A and B are shown apart, each in its own frame.
Chain A
Amino acid sequence: MTNELIQAVERANSSESLFTAVRELAAAREEEGISTLIKILGYNNPGAAIAAVQGLVELGEVAVPALLEQIDGYDYGARAWSHRALAKIGDPRALDTLIEAALSDFALSVRRAAAKGLGSMNWAKLADEEVLPSQTKALETLLKVCQDPEWVVRYAAVVGLEGLAVTQSEFQSKISAQLQQIIDTDEELTVQARAKLALEQIQN
C-alpha cells in the first residue's frame, strides 16, 4: 500500500499529479513514506512541499531522526521546509540543529523558520533537569537573533521569545525588557508592532 503511494509520487509528471500523490502519501501516515516525503522538500514545488511538511508533522517524532539526518546542506529551499517541519513537531532533539540554523544559515527563510521553532519546542519531552538549561540555550539564541539584519528573521525571533516567555515564567522579565527595547529601537514598524503584541500577550 505504502509502496504504491511512493511509486505514485515518483511517477508524477506534473505539478498537479505530484501534489495529489504527495497528499495521499502524507495522509497514509506510514513510516515507510518519511524518506520520500523529505525528498519532496527539495522539488522546488511549494504546493507539494506544504503537503509533505504537513504529513511529516502529523507523523511527529518518528520523523525527527530522518529529518535531522537528511537536512540538505546545498538547497536552502529544501532546508527551510525541513526546519519548518522540525519546528512544528517541536521535538527537543532538534534543538541544536535549530539553534545553529537560526544563528548562521545564510538563507533568511531557514533562519526565520528555526527562530520561530525555538520558542515552541515540546519541552515536556525532556528530562526535568534538562528543561531549564535547554530553554536557556534557546533564549540566548533568540536574544542574538533579535539583531539579525533581516526584518522577517527578527520578527520570527519575537514570535519565538513570546512562546518561551509563556512557557517559562523565569524568563519573563528578561524577555519583556528585550521586547521593550525592540519597540523603542527597531527600524521596522512591523517588528515593533509584533514586539508590542508579544509584550501584551506576556503581561496578560
Chain B
Amino acid sequence: MQEYSQQQSGAEQLTVAQAIANLQQQSDTGLRYYAAWWLGRFRVNEPAAIDALLAALEDEVDRSPDGGYPLRRNAARALGKLSDRRVVPALIGSLSSSDYYVREAAAQSLEMLGDRSAIPPLVKLLAGGVEAATQVPGKPHLVQPYEAVLEALGTLGATEAIPQIQPFTQHPVEKVQFAAARAMYQLTKEEIYGKRLIRGLQAEKLPLRRSALMDLGAIGYLPAAEAIARAGVENSIKLISLKGLLEREIENSSSDSLTLSEPSIQVMKIMDSLL
C-alpha cells in the first residue's frame, strides 16, 4: 500500500498551460510522459488538455524497446479520470492497440467513464473464451487484459455479456477468477460470487488477498465485513475495502438524508478497530 505525503514533491508547481505545452512538444519524451500523468492526476478536464491527450493517444515518437507506446498508456489512463465522454470513441480505438498496456489502460478508463457504448468492443476482447486466454510467451501477462475487461463489463452493467463473462470464473489465473466473480456479482447479485471473493481472502499470496479485498470493497459485499477485518492484509487496505461496503449500504438504505442502518453501524465499528 502506497502512502501519500502531504506535499506532492513539487509537482503542483507545474501549471496547466505548462503541462499542456510539455505534452505537445516532441523533443523530451520524459516531460511528455510526466505531463500526461499530471493532467490526469490533477483532473485537468479543460478542452485544451483533453485535445492534447487525445493527440498523445496517437503518438508515434515515444516507443519502448519492445515496441510499446509509453505515452499512449499514460494518455489513456489520464483520459479516464477527466470524465469527458467525448473521449470514449478514441479509447475504444485504443482497445485494439498492439500494446497490451495501452489496451489495459483503455479498458480501465472506459470503466471509469461509464459509457455503455464500450460494452461490445470490450466483449470482443473476450473472444475465444477461457481457452484463448493464455499467457503470452516471454511476457508477464495474458494475451488480453482480462482483469480490466471483466471489471469494466461488471461496472458498466453488461448483463448481455454474462454468457461470455461467466466462464472466466474458472480461468486458471486466480486474479482473473476474482475479476470475473466481481463482475458476475455486480451483474447477478448472486451470493456464490461474493463468497468466491471471501474465499480469496485466504489465498496464500498477499497480492491475491489484497486483490480479493479490493474487489469486495468495489462490489460493496456486506456479508464480507468480518472476513475483511480478519484477513491477513494491511489495515490501510482493509479500511478502503470496508469504506466500499459502508457506502454501498448507505446508498441502498438511505433516501435523501443520511440515515444509518444497523449494518452500516456495524461496519463503522469494525473500521474503528482498524485505525
- A183 contacts B258, CB within 8 Å? yes
Bound complex: CA of A149 vs CA of B7, how far in Å?
A: 11
Is the CB of A56 closer than 8 A to any CB of chain B? no
Contacts of B3 in A (CB 8 A): 76, 106-109
Chain A residues within 8 Å of B258, by CB: 183, 189, 192-193, 196
Is A197 located at the chain interface by the 8 A CB criterion?
A: yes
Say yes or no: B275 contacts A149, CB within 8 Å.
no
Q: How far is the CB of B53 from chain A (nearest CB, A)?
A: 25
Measured CB to CB, the closest approach of chain A to B71, in angstroms, equals: 29
A106 adjacent to B6 (CB under 8 Å): yes
Q: Does the CB pair A152–B250 fall under 8 Å? A: no
Q: Are B246 and A190 touching (Cβ within 8 A)? A: yes
Task: Using CB atoms, name the residue of chain A closest to B271.
Answer: A155
Would you give the 0/1 interface string for A151-181, flagging 1 where the beta carbon is closer than 8 Å to chain B?
1100110010000000000000000000000
Alpha-carbon distance A152/B236, docked complex (angstroms): 9
B residues 246-264 in Cβ contact with A at 8 Å: 246-247, 250-251, 258, 260, 264
Whole-angstrom distance between the alpha carbons of A197 and B251 in the complex?
Answer: 16
Assembled-state Cα–Cα distance A47/B206 (Å): 12
Give the docked Cα–Cα distance between A116 and B268 (Å).
14
Q: Which of B215-266 contact A (CB under 8 A)?
A: 232-236, 239-240, 243, 246-247, 250-251, 258, 260, 264-265
Q: Are B268 and A156 in contact (CB under 8 A)?
A: no
* Known pairs A159-B272, A193-B250, A194-B268; A106 contacts B234 (CB<8 A): no
Instruction: State how many angstroms separate the Cβ of A117 from the closest Cβ of chain B.
Output: 9
| Interchain Cβ contacts within 8 Å, total number | 56
Q: How far is the CB of A57 from chain B (nearest CB, A)?
A: 13
By size class, the interface of chain B is 20 to 34
CB distance from B1 to the nearest CB of A (A): 8
Residues of B within 8 A of A190 (CB): 243, 246-247
B5 located at the interface, meaning its Cβ lies under 8 Å from any Cβ of chain A in the complex: yes
SS class, residues of chain B in contact with chain A: helix
In the complex, A113 has a CB within 8 A of chain B: yes
Q: Say if the beta carbon of A60 comes within 8 Å of chain B.
A: no
Set of chain A residues within 8 Å of B233, measured between Cβ atoms: 46
The CA of A159 and the CA of B272, in the complex, are separated in Å by 7
8 Å CB contact of A46 from B6, B234, B240: B234
- Measured between beta carbons, the chain A residues less than 8 angstroms from B260 are 193, 196-197, 200
Note all chain B residues with C-beta closer than 8 A to A189. 246-247, 250-251, 258
Given contacts A152-B236, A190-B246, contact A106 B275 (CB under 8 A): no
Q: Please name all residues of chain B whose beta carbon is closer than 8 Å to the beta carbon of A156 when the two chains form the complex.
A: 275
Contact assessment for B239 and A152 in the assembled complex, using a CB-CB cutoff below 8 Å: yes
Q: Does A23 interact with chain B (Cβ within 8 Å)?
A: no
Q: Confirm or deny: A150 has a beta carbon within 8 angstroms of a beta carbon on chain B.
A: yes
State in angstroms the CA–CA spacing of A68 and B234 once bound together: 23
> Contact between B275 and A112 (Cβ–Cβ < 8 Å)?
yes
A112 to B236 alpha-carbon distance, docked (Å): 10
- Across the interface, do A150 and B268 meet the contact criterion of CB distance under 8 Å? no
Query: Contact: B268 with A106, CB < 8 Å?
Result: no
Query: Are B234's CB and A113's CB within 8 A?
Result: no
For window 180-197 of B, CB contacts with A under 8 Å fall at none
Cα distance A151–B243 when bound, in Å?
10
CB proximity of A181 to chain B, nearest CB, Å: 14
9 A-B pairs closest in CB distance = A116-B275, A106-B5, A190-B243, A156-B275, A107-B3, A189-B247, A112-B275, A159-B272, A152-B239
Further contacts, 5 of them, CB under 8 A, given A46-B234, A152-B240, A152-B275:
A108-B4, A109-B235, A115-B275, A155-B271, A190-B247
Question: Interface residues, chain B, CB within 8 Å of chain A?
Answer: 3-6, 232-236, 239-240, 243, 246-247, 250-251, 258, 260, 264-265, 268, 271-272, 275
9 residue pairs A–B, Cβ–Cβ below 8 Å: A46-B233, A108-B236, A109-B3, A150-B4, A152-B240, A183-B258, A193-B250, A193-B260, A197-B265
